[in-house]
């Protein structure tokens, strides 16, 4: 099972962090008295983790790039079809002089792989066509075939092969991005969960303050306004808080 962030969406965690840090700063004395872990650079570490999460590249960005690469790839292989149709026409005209039947020239099989969007299959089947062209070049030329057509087939197939590699690279990058992002979200969540649990413990004698640390209360605050506005405001507050942390260290 994946990591659960209570009922929060991943993109809401920085806002949750900002709200918890506001309470932490208010009650900092109690936290530091409870444990030295909350002294020194603790605040700065949490602030930096929130900023890191805010600045992460999100999967939808790469998803859009993959969609574009896929569109370019499919357009490329579709443009191979007219070339194959011409080659099939020449093979049919030269059928009697070919070393294989025109129907076995490989064109139909290559087009089938194109329709299936199986790029590896396209490249494999086109090589069969290329080999048959090489073996029957003179017979095809007599019927009007030109080597320029064969070169165009090779070039377009190579282009499709390279586009396919780029697409696969983007897909791998997206998968790794999801893993990396989840690591950062999980680390931030550990800080938030700790602040919430410790805050509830330390503020137990003050119901209002104790309730403030509860996620059931925080989630209502987070969702009072639009998520995008919350995240934008959170980023500004985090930057301000970061500046405050730096100033305090210089004093």
Name the nearest CA neighbour of 113 among 92, 127, 95. Answer: 127
The pairs formed by 63-72 with CB atoms below 8 angstroms and a separation of 24 or more are: 63/174, 65/170, 66/167, 66/170, 66/171, 66/174, 69/163, 69/166, 69/167, 69/170, 70/167, 72/163
pTM, two decimals, is: 0.70
Q: Band the pLDDT of 130: cuts 50, 70, 90.
A: very high
Whole-number Å distance between alpha carbons of 182 and 173: 14
| Angle of helix 147-202 versus helix 13-26 axis, rounded to 10 | 30
In the prediction, which pLDDT does 237 show?
A: 53
Instruction: Choose from 58-67, 150-159, 218-227 the range with maximum mean pLDDT.
Output: 150-159
Q: Are residues 113 and 125 in contact, defined by beta-carbon separation less than 8 angstroms?
A: yes
Is the pLDDT at 16 greater than 90? The verdict is yes
The per-residue pLDDT of the chain, averaged, comes to 89
Is the pLDDT at 132 greater than 90? The verdict is yes
Chain segment 193-230, per-residue pLDDT in tens: 999 999 999 999 999 999 999 999 999 999 885 545 44
In the prediction, which pLDDT does 21 show?
A: 96
Q: Band the pLDDT of 248: cuts 50, 70, 90.
A: very low
């Amino acid at each position: 099972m994946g990591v659960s962030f209570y009922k929060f969406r991943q993109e809401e965690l920085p806002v949750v962090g900002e709200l918890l840090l506001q309470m932490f700063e208010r009650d900092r004395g109690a936290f530091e008295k409870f444990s030295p872990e909350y002294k020194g650079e603790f605040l700065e570490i949490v602030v930096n983790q929130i900023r890191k999460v805010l600045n992460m590249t999100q999967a939808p960005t790469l998803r859009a790039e993959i969609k574009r690469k896929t569109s370019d790839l499919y357009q490329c292989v579709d443009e191979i079809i007219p070339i194959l149709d011409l080659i099939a026409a020449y093979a049919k005209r030269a059928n009697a002089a070919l070393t294989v039947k025109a129907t076995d020239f490989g064109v139909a099989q290559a087009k089938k792989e194109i329709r299936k969007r199986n790029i590896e299959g396209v490249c494999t089947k086109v090589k069969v066509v290329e080999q048959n062209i090489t073996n029957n070049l003179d017979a095809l030329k007599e019927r009007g075939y030109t080597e320029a057509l064969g070169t165009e087939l090779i070039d377009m197939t190579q282009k499709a092969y390279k586009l396919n590699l780029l697409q696969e690279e983007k897909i791998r990058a997206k998968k790794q991005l999801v893993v990396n992002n989840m690591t950062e979200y999980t680390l931030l969540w550990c800080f938030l969960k700790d602040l919430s649990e410790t805050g509830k413990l330390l503020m137990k004698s003050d119901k209002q303050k104790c309730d403030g640390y509860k996620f059931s209360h925080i989630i209502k605050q987070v969702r009072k306004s639009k998520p995008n506005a919350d995240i934008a405001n959170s980023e500004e507050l985090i930057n301000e808080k970061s500046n405050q942390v730096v100033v305090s260290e210089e004093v």
